[in-house]
A and B are shown apart, each in its own frame.
Chain A
Amino acid sequence: MPVRRRDVLKGGLAVGAVAGAAAGGWIGAGILGPQRRTPTGSLPVDRIVRTTCSPNCTGSCGQLAFVRDERIVKIQQAADYPDAAYNPRGCMKGLSYHLQVHGPDRILTPLVRTGDRGSGEFRPATWEEALDQIAGDLRRIGEEHGWDSIHVFGQVPGSGYVQKGANYRACALLGMSHGTSFDFNGDLPMGMPITFGVQNAEHEAKDWANSRFLLLVGANPVETRIPDVHFIWDAVERGARLVVVDPVFSGTAAKADAWLQPKPGTDAALALGLVRQILAHGAADEAFLRAYTDAPLLVRADTGRRLRERDLVEGIAADAPDRFVAWDPAREEPIIVGTERLGPPGGLATVALDGQVAVPRSGGAAIAARPSFGHVRDEVDRWTPERVEAVTGVPAASVVSLARAFAAEKPAAILMGGGANHWFHGDLTGRAFALLSAVTGNIGRSGGGYSVYVGQYRVRVDTSPWWSPGGTKAPVVPSIYFVRGRTPTMHPKVPYPAAGFKALVCTFANMFLQSPDVNRLHETLRGLELIVVVDHQMTDTVRWADVVLPATTWYEKTDLTATPLHPFLQLQQAAIAPVGESRSEVAIWREIVRRIDPALAAEWFDIDEDEAIRQILEAGGGPGGPTEGITLDHLRAGPVRLRVPDPDIPFLAQIRDLEPFPPRSLPAPLEATAAFVPTGRIEFYKEEARFLELGEQVPTHREPYDDGIHDPADWPLVLLSPHSKWRIHSTYSNNAWLAEIHGGRPTVLLHPDDAAARDIGDGDPIRVHNTRGSLEAWAHVSEAAGRGTATLPEGWWSRYFGAGKGVNELTSSEVNPIHEVHFVANMWSPSTGWKDCRCEVEKVGASVAAAAVPAGAAPPGGVDG
């Protein structure tokens, strides 16, 4: 390694010159004295830059980049949050990202495909050539098939408003269709818009510390919320109880006071069983139900729809807002319930929550109706502890004790994660746990609440001046329709391109590995005339591109970030010059748009990141706005807490100030999401026709959808593909330090009984398959696995498998029609059910096993999957 030695020498000389005797003690050779040298001081750097980490987690952890010779030599948490409880944040992945910034998989120049698609054969090209080719092809395709036939995919704009926003800006300007991520990632908890009318709303992580009881459902913060999990320990240290519900013994289960192990996909049944116990013991907070939910609102017996004032009284204008009806049992008369203010109907603490009533009507027969909550109670009552045990496998006694313990502690928080949400019927699970939180009156309380933590989505500032230039919005098409085409039940408002999709520009994403049902996506790709991938690493997706543009990493560009979990606005600042010839997305789109329409570019893209940030800050800077009083200079100095309550708790305005649901979900206008909950209340009863058709008007439990596609008798294992502790999706797959720890090859966690039945031993190469696809990986046999589960954490690049593209060969892209009842992109939109997936596992021949484990190395197994 002569180069390295020279570098060392050079570093040494520089240090000697600068730090003098102090550092020289470490370095200078000289004559050895009897005195030992005690090291003093650190080697100097050229600069330290405060910026943020920015992969697709919800972290946005503040980091310091230490730069020497234009290379990052250390990344460490800035630990400078004004709220000390948040320090230091950051995890081992972010701390090691410089290995990828300067790593062997980095793309340094534009590339043009020379071999077949997917062959990975490219030649380097100049920016001029690559941009000309892209602009030319896009213009041809746009003019021939319509601009919306060009699909621009970019992950999670919430984690970088400016660079990812450049995608939206370009789409708005040219009319290209933009993809979605929050729903596509399966992270959109459909129970939230259905129940609360919001995209999602969760307590900031700091508020976990205020809880007395933490019920974690399919959530594994020890492995997937590393920067925040300590807030749970703060609560536990103050005596809070921690209960974890997970079919697999996770790192979080290891910390729990109790761990319940349901069969995968049966969480809703557990929640309903808990609610039943609480209702049966009179422990329900009926005042909460009356004041904030649709529980007292009457539902017509004939139509199954809510009884409205206009059903009872003639002559109400057609465009007047709906008013609903409750029942006063004492006076035996209806109470009209408006939607402008919450509170118990008529201010009555006794308004009916159940019972069959006949509501008199002017000039007609009485209408038979029943309070919504009666319907809820009917469904809930079916979930006796014994039935819950039969369905979930959780012992009836545990259901009884958990219900008692949960109802006894206030505030009690429900933290739901991807494990419970990533199901075809994840919406029902969400609705059931929201119900549990509501019947115990925990919503809108510090330390309580029902929060779903999956994915980075939340737009916390007003991005409209940047994303929607001149008020023009990009047409947004859920990317699931890009993967599988339109569905018969697709909502008419979805702007699906008339000519279908003809081109793809993929940014910030490893889409061809990380889409559900990835083999189907690869079929779709055949119809594309152009695939452009913008990335900084040679990922699986890049290998399929026609033209590759080298992107800067987040350490080489400017952006603005804020996250759901910690409400700080932060600046991402370039620590080093772009590596190789890489460019930022803003710069790339500016050049592409300029080539297509110079005038448009001159008018709208002659703007730099700082100016974009200024405009965003200004737009939300009005009184009460999220960025009120925040300037770019503040952000340069460090993180600034957004103008939100402290702690940041959703629905405060509703619970405290009795404002109607929903609060606004940025960036959509309030009217768009208010249509999800027309009562202005928390809705446990849904009256839209499709809910009624499918029998899902109240929270219930449905068997996993894939059981109908893969008969459990033939496909006995549920394939779970959770987030890995070692990766953020597919990012960090190739991180050398992390691979040193976990062994760098995909393992599938199997229960010893399941393994033995298939003659599989720990470390054996195995094939995992179903009708959609197959892969080869290695078995990790442990009792940590639930019986009947196979767990392969998602995100491994395909090159680490024995065969196959990865776990998404097997996952499903089925769309739940309930998710198509309304349409607001990323808010009421098809959410992917990654874990709703069955498979079978078998041992493969020893040939794969030979894949080089050196003598003396750690035995296989016992590593991450």
Chain B
Amino acid sequence: MSQATSTEAASRWSARSWVPILATSAVLVAAMVTALSIGRYSVPFSSVVQTLGSHILPIKAPASETQQNVVWLVRFPRVLLAVLVGGGLGVAGAALQAIFRNPLVSPDIIGVSSGASFGGALALLLGLGSWYLVGGAFVFGLTALVILLLVTLGPEGAPMLMVVLGGVVTGSFFSALVALTTYVADPYTTLPAIVFWLLGSLATATFAQVAVAVAPIGVGTVALLLVRWRINVLSLGDEDASALGVRPGRIRWLVLVSAALIVAGAVAVSGVIGWVGLVIPHLARMWVGPDHRVMLPVSFLLGAAYLVAVDTLARTLTAGEIPLGVLTALIGAPVFFLLLRRNRDRVWDSA
């Protein structure tokens, strides 16, 4: 992309740019309403509406207590968590792909997922409560980022190749620590709990977990959205960005820290859910183009809608629950394959 097209893109920001954002918002709302209305325990749609209404307006819902509990305490936190995790992973993936200028980058690449996995696995190994699980994932996710900083940061800033290699090294190190955790875990008690959590699931969603996830994911997402114009400039390359008066080093680290916050928050509450951060930005880019002012919000909304839909499938298709991470990979990989086949020539530059 040249500077000329970027200026052109900037000038194209207009009322029309809101169309994809509004359209995806509508899709997300539709997905959420659908998710709230279906489940293994049957609740009539009118009761769903009444229950939601009674928690917003001071009216008493005529729905039975069980129906209200199912909608408000079981489905609603789960849907909110899917929105946060899916949206967060989508926007983090989009921002990372832009600053690495590499369409195959996903949040896993900077090692934060592995770090967070280790923190959570450690908490499960030691038999600590769910707050420690969340805290452990968070602390070690950020630890992975600090190690990455120490590995890559020199007097001249961090070269892109070093960041990728540093991420691979950090990720491998924490993967080994996760393997060590499972090695010493009791195969009858703690190991299955660790494996279940690592597999990725929203099954244990509560409002407490939503409260925990909303801070890191919210802060990270807002930060990314605030610098979305600068991300556009950064995606031109460091020299062009410097020439345009943007300091590439600072913005890049701001994006990395934001993405790390988002991923740590997501892994803490839901384990490792793969593919969302890779597939969703691609879908968004093919639809709205590489202008990050539009593409970042669309990635968030699309990721949120996608995870809400997939999680609804995971909990309703069979009596047993299908692991979410498995389902996102099963759906994500073939979709990604088709996208790549169809758009071989314009995956990155001219989508």
Do A and B associate with each other? no
